[in-house]
Amino acid sequence: MSTVKTQPLNRRQMAWRSAQDIADKSLVNLGLGMPLAVADYLQPGRDVFFQSENGVVGVGPLATADKIDTDLVDAGSRRVTLRPGATIIDSASSFAMIRGGHIDVSILGAFEVAANGDLANWDMRVPDKGPLVGGAMDLAAGARAVWVIMEHTTRKGAPRLVGSCSLPLTAVRCVKRIYTDLAVVDVTPAGFVVLEVLEGMTPEELATKSGAPLTFAPGWKPLSAPPIADAD
Amino acid sequence: MSTVKTQPLNRRQMAWRSAQDIADKSLVNLGLGMPLAVADYLQPGRDVFFQSENGVVGVGPLATADKIDTDLVDAGSRRVTLRPGATIIDSASSFAMIRGGHIDVSILGAFEVAANGDLANWDMRVPDKGPLVGGAMDLAAGARAVWVIMEHTTRKGAPRLVGSCSLPLTAVRCVKRIYTDLAVVDVTPAGFVVLEVLEGMTPEELATKSGAPLTFAPGWKPLSAPPIADAD
Amino acid sequence: MAIDKRVKSAGDALADVADGATVFISGFGGAGFPNLLIRALREQGTKRLTLVVNSATHRYSLTHELIEAGQVSKVICSAARGAGKDLSPFETLLKAGKIELTCLPQGTFAEAIRAGGAGIPAFYTPVGVGTDLTRGKEVRRFGERDYVLEPAIQGDLALVRADTADQYGNLTFRYAQANFGPVMATAARLAVAEVRAISDQPIPHTQAQLPGIYIDRVVLAAE
Amino acid sequence: MAIDKRVKSAGDALADVADGATVFISGFGGAGFPNLLIRALREQGTKRLTLVVNSATHRYSLTHELIEAGQVSKVICSAARGAGKDLSPFETLLKAGKIELTCLPQGTFAEAIRAGGAGIPAFYTPVGVGTDLTRGKEVRRFGERDYVLEPAIQGDLALVRADTADQYGNLTFRYAQANFGPVMATAARLAVAEVRAISDQPIPHTQAQLPGIYIDRVVLAAE
Helix runs in B48-135, H state only: 91-99
| Cα–Cα dist C79/C52, whole Å | 11
CB neighbours of residue D174 within 10 Å: 19
H/E element, A222: strand A214-223
| Cα–Cα dist A185/A196, whole Å | 7
Contact criterion met (CB < 8 Å) for D145 and C120 = no
Q: Residue A198: beta bridge partners?
A: A223
Contact criterion met (CB < 8 Å) for C107 and A74 = no
Cβ–Cβ contact A142 with D under 8 A: yes
Average of per-residue pLDDT across A107-118 = 98
Average pLDDT, chain A: 95
CA distances from B126 to B108, B129, B131, B168, D91 (A): 20, 6, 9, 12, 12
Does residue B201 surpass a pLDDT of 60? yes
Q: Is residue D195 part of a domain?
A: yes
Q: Is residue C127 part of a domain?
A: no
Q: From the DSSP assignment, how many helices (H) and strands (E) are in chain C? A: 6, 11
Contact predicate C29/A73, CB 8 Å? yes
Measured in angstroms, the CA of A112 and the nearest CA of chain D are apart by: 26
Contact criterion met (CB < 8 Å) for D208 and A87 = yes
pLDDT for A5: 52
Provide, as residue numbers in chain D, all residues whose Cβ is less than 8 Å from the Cβ of B54. Answer: 28-29, 31, 176, 179
Count of structural domains, chain C: 1
pLDDT for A2: 47
Q: In this complex, which chains have at least 3 CB pairs below 8 Å with chain A?
A: C, D
Cβ–Cβ contact D115 with C under 8 A: yes
Q: Can chain D be said to touch chain A, i.e. do they have 3 or more Cβ pairs within 8 angstroms?
A: yes
Does residue A3 surpass a pLDDT of 80? no
Provide, as residue numbers in chain C, all residues whose Cβ is less than 8 Å from the Cβ of B46. Answer: 1
Measuring CA to CA, which residue among B26, B209, B48 is closest to residue B105? B26
Per residue in B63-96, pLDDT (tens digit) is: 999 999 999 999 999 999 999 999 999 999 999 9
DSSP secondary structure letter of residue A137? H
Per residue in C45-69, pLDDT (tens digit) is: 999 999 999 999 888 889 999 999 9
DSSP secondary structure letter of residue B122? S
Range with lowest mean pLDDT among A94-108, A109-123, D85-99: D85-99
Average of per-residue pLDDT across C192-201 = 98
Which residue in chain B is spatially nearest to C154 when comparing CA positions? B100
Per residue in D156-188, pLDDT (tens digit) is: 999 999 999 999 999 999 999 999 999 999 999
Nearest CB among C1, C2, C211 relative to B89 is that of: C211
Pairing of strands D188-198, D72-77: unpaired
Residue D92 neighbours by CB under 8 Å, 6+ apart: none
Per residue in A85-112, pLDDT (tens digit) is: 999 999 999 999 999 999 999 999 999 9
Q: Band of the pLDDT at D5, cuts 50, 70, 90? A: very high
A contact test, residue of C26, C77, C78, C95 with most A CBs within 10 A: C78
Contact criterion met (CB < 8 Å) for D120 and C123 = yes
Q: What domain range includes position D210?
A: 10-121+152-220
Which residue in chain B is spatially nearest to D99 when comparing CA positions? B130
Domains of chain A, first to last? 11-223 (3.40.1080.10)
Cβ–Cβ contact B140 with C under 8 A: no
Q: Is residue C187 part of a domain?
A: yes
C contact test, residue of B25, B87, B91, B95 with most C CBs within 10 A: B87
Q: In this complex, which chains have at least 3 CB pairs below 8 Å with chain C?
A: A, B, D
Which residue in chain C is spatially nearest to A173 when comparing CA positions? C130
Q: Is residue C167 part of a domain?
A: yes
Does residue A54 surpass a pLDDT of 60? yes
State how far Cα A45 lies from the chain centre.
21
Which residue in chain D is spatially nearest to C209 when comparing CA positions? D206
Percent pLDDT > 90 in chain B is 94
pLDDT for B3: 47
Residue C204's CATH number: 3.40.1080.10
Question: Which residues of B are known to be catalytic?
Answer: 53
SS3 state at B141 = helix
Does residue B4 surpass a pLDDT of 80? no
Q: Can chain B be said to touch chain A, i.e. do they have 3 or more Cβ pairs within 8 angstroms?
A: no
pLDDT for A1: 44
Measured in angstroms, the CA of D61 and the nearest CA of chain A are apart by: 29
Q: Band of the pLDDT at B2, cuts 50, 70, 90? A: very low
Average of per-residue pLDDT across D59-83 = 93
Contact criterion met (CB < 8 Å) for C106 and A53 = yes
pLDDT for A232: 63
A contact test, residue of C24, C175, C183, C196 with most A CBs within 10 A: C175
Provide, as residue numbers in chain C, all residues whose Cβ is less than 8 Å from the Cβ of A98. Answer: 107
Cβ–Cβ contact B137 with C under 8 A: no
Measured in angstroms, the CA of D164 and the nearest CA of chain A are apart by: 13
Which residue in chain B is spatially nearest to C202 when comparing CA positions? B85
pLDDT for A133: 95
Provide, as residue numbers in chain A, all residues whose Cβ is less than 8 Å from the Cβ of C105. Answer: 133, 135-138
pLDDT for B232: 63
Average of per-residue pLDDT across C144-165 = 98
Contact criterion met (CB < 8 Å) for D118 and A87 = no
Average of per-residue pLDDT across B174-185 = 98
Percent pLDDT > 90 in chain A is 94
Q: Band of the pLDDT at C223, cuts 50, 70, 90? A: low
Contact criterion met (CB < 8 Å) for A102 and D120 = no
Contact criterion met (CB < 8 Å) for A75 and C29 = yes
Cβ–Cβ contact C207 with D under 8 A: yes
Provide, as residue numbers in chain B, all residues whose Cβ is less than 8 Å from the Cβ of D145. Answer: none
Q: Is residue C143 part of a domain?
A: no
Per residue in A134-175, pLDDT (tens digit) is: 999 999 999 999 999 999 999 999 999 999 999 999 999 999
Cβ–Cβ contact B90 with C under 8 A: no
Provide, as residue numbers in chain A, all residues whose Cβ is less than 8 Å from the Cβ of D116. Answer: 100
Contact criterion met (CB < 8 Å) for C179 and A54 = yes
Which residue in chain A is spatially nearest to D152 when comparing CA positions? A100
Per residue in A197-216, pLDDT (tens digit) is: 999 999 999 999 999 999 99
State the Cα torsion A173-A176-A179-A183 to the nearest 10°: 90
Contact predicate C6/C218, CB 8 Å? yes
What's the ipTM? 0.97
Contact criterion met (CB < 8 Å) for D122 and C124 = yes
Residue C152 neighbours by CB under 8 Å, 6+ apart: C112, C113, C115, C116, C120, C121, C122, C123, C187
Contact criterion met (CB < 8 Å) for B57 and C166 = no
